[in-house]
Amino acid sequence: MRVEIEAQKVDETFAAVATDFRREAKLPGFRPGKAPREMVLRMYEKDIQQETKRKLISEAYRQAVEEQKLDVLGQPDIEEIQFSRGQPLQFAATVETAPEFELPEYKALPIKRELRSVTEADVTKAINLLRDQRVSFKTVERPLSAGDIAVVNFTGTCEGKPITEIAPTAKGLTEQKGFWVEAKPTSFIPGFADQLVGAKAGDKRTVNVDFPADFVTPLLANKKGTYEVEVAEVKEKVMPPMDEELAKAYGAESLEKLLAGVRRDLENELKFKQEKAIRNELVRSLLGRVNFELPETAVAKETRNVVYDLVRENTQRGVPRDIIEKQKEQIYSAAAHNAKERVKVQFLIQKIAEKEDIKVSQEEIAARVQYLAGLYQIAPDKFIKDLQKRNGLIEVYDQVVNEKVIDFLAQNAKYEDVMPDTSGVNPG
């Protein structure tokens, strides 16, 4: 986009800017605003020129965008062609515009909705998890059985060497005394506890393990280990009875109210999962109905955001920095794919919002800001200032309008109720 500003406008703006500088100029021997104009021009010539160019280009660019009705993304790349007093100002602005496309049919999107409800078995399972959190342990004089706890002393080697020679930080894998391990296949190192079943207190066993490929200590991944293990005690898990005492332990007035509360929580969780599944299906259906070119700058920016999120999540999960570095190509590839989908969805949602006149009120923005401030435990005033500093209120607006558009799509979807797939999946 090429723009030209007439010479008269250039000179008028230069004169106005020079007057502003003269009014504020502090020169030795003169009160502010009283310094000779020519002296101010000599002292601040470069600054006056820069401010004049900024004002002229900013105003002319905005006017050109409005006249050409361009939907511009991000900031323009301005290339100055000509600027001097008494001459027209010419510049070129390279801009990236929002893609043009025809909206697909977005009403009556076909959605499969699972007919799923909370069952008595789901409630019992949840109650047993609560009981398991208050389990006690009783030492028994019998062989270890599945589900028991073995209290063991062990030393471990890998490839005939103490494990710390291969993985210096893995002291806990090399030697332990009084270590508790539950007799189930996935405890500690896969397969370790299985080889202790049948042992009694005082028994000694040699245990051979294969460290899995995704083992928490990468230096041991895919290697073989050998453990010399002594069983010091066998402990039996004692579950508390499902009675009034259990209810009181969890702050319920009675067992009946505990059961009702657990069912209510499960129903809320199921409702949330069902709504999330519907929303995801709506977005997938919408994405598959239209293709258009995506702006490179928008995709690149979103890719950086996704990469940042993925790296942060991996770091919070304890993944070492060197492992993240080795996986950077896979992380970037996944991020680029996700970014393209997110950018595409955003353009679709914006266009649907415009067509359906879906707007966001100031009250809705304020309510969302209050909610987010509470979520992050930040004072609302401080949270708003932080958002304003990084232009984050736009993100809040986008969040709310996205939700309103998805709600609109959900209300107008065409649902097909189907039975849940229970093959190997617990519906609770």
Same domain, 70 and 199: no
Sign of CA dihedral 363, 365, 371, 374: negative
Same domain, 258 and 222: no
**332 in a structural domain:** yes
Same domain, 316 and 402: yes
Same domain, 147 and 207: yes
* Domain extent at residue 12: 2-97
The residues, ordered by sequence, that sit 6+ positions from 353 with a Cβ below 8 Å of its Cβ are 359, 401, 404, 405
**277 in a structural domain:** yes
The residues, ordered by sequence, that sit 6+ positions from 288 with a Cβ below 8 Å of its Cβ are none
Same domain, 302 and 214: no
**128 in a structural domain:** no
**345 in a structural domain:** yes
Rounded CA-CA distance 298/344 in Å is 10
**243 in a structural domain:** no
**122 in a structural domain:** no
**115 in a structural domain:** no
**117 in a structural domain:** no
How many domains is the chain partitioned into structurally?
A: 3
Per the listing, tokens 């189907």 go with: 418
Rounded CA-CA distance 158/142 in Å is 31
Backbone angles phi, psi at 418, to 5 degrees: -130, 155
* One pLDDT digit (tens) per residue for the chain, 428 residues: 888 999 999 999 999 988 888 887 777 777 776 777 788 788 888 888 889 989 999 999 899 888 888 888 877 888 877 788 888 889 998 888 888 899 999 999 999 998 899 999 999 999 999 999 999 999 999 999 999 999 999 999 998 999 999 999 899 999 999 999 999 998 999 999 999 999 999 999 999 999 999 898 889 999 999 999 999 999 999 999 999 999 999 999 999 999 999 999 999 999 999 999 999 999 999 999 999 999 888 898 889 988 888 888 878 877 778 877 888 888 888 888 899 999 999 999 999 999 999 999 999 999 999 999 999 899 988 988 888 877 788 889 989 999 999 999 999 999 999 988 765 445 44
Sign of CA dihedral 334, 340, 346, 348: negative
Same domain, 410 and 271: yes
Rounded CA-CA distance 126/129 in Å is 5
CATH code: domain of residue 265: 1.10.3120.10
Contact (CB, 8 A) for 73 and 298: yes
Same domain, 226 and 280: no
Q: Which of 238, 262, 286 is the last residue of a domain?
A: 238
pTM here? 0.67
According to DSSP, the residues that pair with 264 across neighbouring strands are none
